[in-house]
A = this chain, B = another copy of it.
Amino acid sequence: MNLESQWIAGFVDGEGCFHVQVNKAETAAAGYYVLAEFVVTQHVRSIKVLHAMRKIFKSGVVRPCKDNIYQYRVRKADHLRTRIVPFFMKHKLKTRKRLDFMKFRWILLLMERGEHLTPAGVEKIQAVRATMNGKQALSSPSS
């Protein structure tokens, strides 16, 4: 299946998500583990487009998510930085998801600099994350 770049941008504007998780982890340097992932969700009926995207980005996995729902996801930070981010810098998202993408990119930059390994860095990431994917900013970034 051939997917044009603009089709992918449009599809991700609809079905994609730039997601950041911050979870407590006693073994992590700052007490928290930061996970960034690019996810596209789809009913099993259309699983072919997820596999086609995996082939195009040469990264990630297609995994079942819940009943008949599958996800294509990329978690490898290096691939997010070198394959996913440049793609959406070139083929711009048109919805407000572009703002989430820009925040996601910024968090990846912080992670590249190792800031997610410090309490101050985790706090910065938490503050930005709290404003992503339809959430409103918290009154205090550290809350």
1/0 per residue, CB under 8 A from B, across A102-143: the answer is 000000000000000000000000000000001000000000
A134 neighbours in B (Cβ, 8 Å) = 43, 45
Known contacts: A14-B13, A14-B14, A15-B14. The answer to whether A7 contacts B94 by CB under 8 A is yes
Contact yes or no, B10 A96, CB < 8 A: no
Secondary structure at the A interface, as helix, strand, loop or mixed, is helix
Task: Identify the 7 closest CB pairs spanning chains A and B, nearest first.
Answer: A14-B14, A10-B10, A6-B6, A46-B95, A10-B11, A7-B10, A45-B96
Within A6-32, which residues are at the interface with B (CB < 8 Å)?
6-15
Q: How large is the interface on A (under 10, 10 to 19, 20 to 34, 35 or more residues)?
A: 20 to 34
Contact yes or no, A6 B10, CB < 8 A: yes
Minimum CB–CB distance for A56 against chain B, Å: 12
Asked if A77 lies at the interface with its beta carbon under 8 angstroms from chain B, I say no
A45 neighbours in B (Cβ, 8 Å) = 95-96, 134
A94 neighbours in B (Cβ, 8 Å) = 1, 3, 7, 11, 46, 48-49, 52
